Chains A and B, each alone.
Chain A
Amino acid sequence: MPILSFAWLALLFSVPLWMADLYVLHVLIVTGIFIIAAMSLNLLLGYTGQLSLGHVAFFGIGAYVSSLVSLGCQVHLLPHWQVSLAAQPVWVGMLSGVAAAGLSGFLIGKIAFKVRGAYFVIVTVSFAEVVHLVALNWVELTQGPMALNNIRPLTLSIPFLVDISFARKPASYYLVLTVALVAYVLIRRLVRSRAGRAMVALRENEPLAASVGVDVTRYLVLATVLSAAIAGAAGVLYAHYVRIVDPDIFLFIYTVIMVIMVISGGKGTLAGPIVGGLIFGLLPEVLRAFAIKPEVQWVIYGVLMVLIVYFLPEGIVPAARSAWLALARPAAWRNAPRLMR
């Protein structure tokens, strides 16, 4: 198995070397950013089993905070009290964005986990909408619909050694790939640990988990904070790559895209959001090649989602695994009632 992983990694790292078409690189970069966000949502939705539908809020908070910190800003918190922040280096902005997203994850976690089920869904959606409306209306801070422009890209310069501006697509590709790998490793470590097991336990049987000492609130909030921070990192990457951020980043439809990626790929699996992300990230491009109108594209998405939920309720990765097992080791497949890993 490690050989296969190495091969994949080598392939992924080699792409900018042979892919001449910058547009394809752009698509891969944006898809990669969405995959990072999907992986983060998978932690909350897939492993911990919490139907958080406000995830785009963390993505957007990361993007906005990072942009504002790196651009500098000034606001009147009260009519006579102006607060201003000078422009900081981009990497400071990026860390701030991730921290801000994580912090908001903490806050919303503390609030939202007082309830469960459908009410939890509603609280998370409401939270995202409130953030959306704030971004739209607090024009002094966020420029509202006029957007934050001229966001500086990340640069890395060590005198005499390195001088990279991550504005160029190949460099951005490597940056996104690296962050995605880091996120993957972190999530993998968490999921295979006691904390990850606690989260799964909460999903499967919350009272039982509590009876063996799993502190419910603590682990729900932990999952939310990490999930939010990683989503914030994706938002940060987005802001400094696309270099324009407007309130549309908070649209509910982006949460829906992330949810589709996670569920169709296979929630609660490590590879699921990656597979789902690749499919639904690249699908628009494929459809565009056939000159299909965006509305039709969305209808196809909607239909596709319904079909996957009906026919592959566990997602693509578990279904593929099951099929592989059926072909390669029929005896084992017959004996296994249901695979969960």
Chain B
Amino acid sequence: MEQLLQHGVNALVLGGTYALLGIGLTLIFGIMRVVNFTHGELYSFGAYMMFLWVMQAGVNFFLALPLAVLLGLLLGAGIELLLLRRLRGADIDTTMLVMIGAWIALQNFEQLCWSGVAKSIATPFPAAPLVLGPVAVSWNRLFVFIVAIALIAATQALVKGTRLGKAMRATFQDRDTAALMGVDIALIHTATFALGSALAAAAGALLGPVFVVYPTMGDLASLKAFAIVILGGLGSIPGAAAGGFILAFIEELGAGYISSGYRDAMGFLLIIVILLVRPTGLVAQRERIS
């Protein structure tokens, strides 16, 4: 029972960051319909930025975090402006390939700068974990959970409460009508990609100090983000948040009680099972019959 609780706590922490990843991608995927292969790279970028500022530049941990997120935002905006804008109207494989190219370039650039050796980031938290009855949680992880929840709430507030958020939702529902209503679609796309990337970077910046940082850490993150988006339903922030937590729980419980080696496979099996069972709601036909 205690083990179960402990798994539960771990899952909560992990779930918060997974939710961030998922929300970022569901926004990008939902509004822009781009199969964003660079999402995982923004995740590892966030982690590497923490390493850069905290370990190499000696910046305060709590300052480095928003800095890393901001840089992620800028990188995302840059990718959209530089690469995706030209491709508006191109078919899905073209966009996908450009994203793959960007992903390759980014990952190897990271490898060039920091080599393939895993890096760890020092945190200002006490080493001894906080003990709450039968479960123990490190201060670091608690911090991660709190910040993740805060960011999820902030994003939801942004999307529901602000003009920008309203424009994003309109674009998601019907791009052409939104454009006719005066929404600057190009701006929305850039903002969406930047926001989604910032969230991914935040997830990386939060988890980097918890685990270690290495160049290929983003690959699994990308794929899990897709699993979360499918699980939670396209374009739904609460759905992605729920999906993130569900995936984390499945991973934790699966790893704890079935096999830890196949932990990462849970997400993929989940995708396959969901799409087997409920393909109709998730069908993206290329042609519509009027």
Contacts and interface: CB of A to CB of B under 8 A. Distances in A.
A118 B276 contact: no
- Among B83, B227, B287, chain A packs the most CB atoms within 10 A around the CB of B287
A14 interface: no
Chain A contact surface mostly? helix
Contacts of A305: 97-98, 100-101, 104
Interface stretch (B53-61, B124-132, B183-191, B263-271): B263-271
Nearest to B289: A207
Interface in A284-304: 293, 295-296, 298-299, 301-304
B259 A117 contact: no
Interface string B68-91: 000000000000000100100010
B108 A306 contact: no
A121 B83 contact: no
B96 interface: yes
A221 interface: no
B92 interface: yes
A129 B269 CA distance: 9
Contact of B272 (A123, A302, A306): A123
A326 interface: no
A313 B86 CA distance: 13
B285 A119 contact: no
A119 B108 contact: no
B163 to A, nearest CB: 28
Interface string A172-206: 00000000000000000000000000000000011
Interface string A123-142: 10111011001101100000
B276 A127 contact: no
B29 A118 contact: yes
A259 B37 CA distance: 14
- Among B86, B104, B276, chain A packs the most CB atoms within 10 A around the CB of B104
B216 to A, nearest CB: 9
B211 interface: no
Given A111-B272, A299-B104, A309-B101, A121 B96 contact: yes
Nearest to A256: B100
Given A126-B272, A129-B265, A310-B86, A206 B100 contact: no
Contacts of A122: 35, 226-227, 230, 271
Contact of A306 (B101, B227, B279): B101
A145 to B, nearest CB: 11
B147 interface: no
A329 to B, nearest CB: 29
Interface in B100-131: 100-105, 107-109, 111-112
A136 B261 contact: yes
Given A122-B226, A126-B227, A127-B268, A116 B100 contact: no
B167 to A, nearest CB: 23
Interface in A225-254: 252-253
Given A123-B271, A133-B264, A309-B101, A114 B92 contact: no
A77 interface: no
Given A259-B100, A298-B108, A306-B98, A117 B271 contact: no
Interface string B248-262: 000000000001011
A303 B101 CA distance: 6
A118 B223 CA distance: 13
Given A126-B227, A263-B97, A299-B105, 13 more contacts: A51-B93, A111-B272, A115-B279, A117-B284, A118-B284, A119-B275, A119-B283, A126-B268, A206-B285, A259-B100, A298-B104, A304-B101, A306-B105
Interface of A: 45, 51, 111-112, 114-119, 121-123, 125-127, 129-130, 133-134, 136-137, 205-207, 252-253, 256, 259-260, 263, 293, 295-296, 298-299, 301-306, 309-310, 313
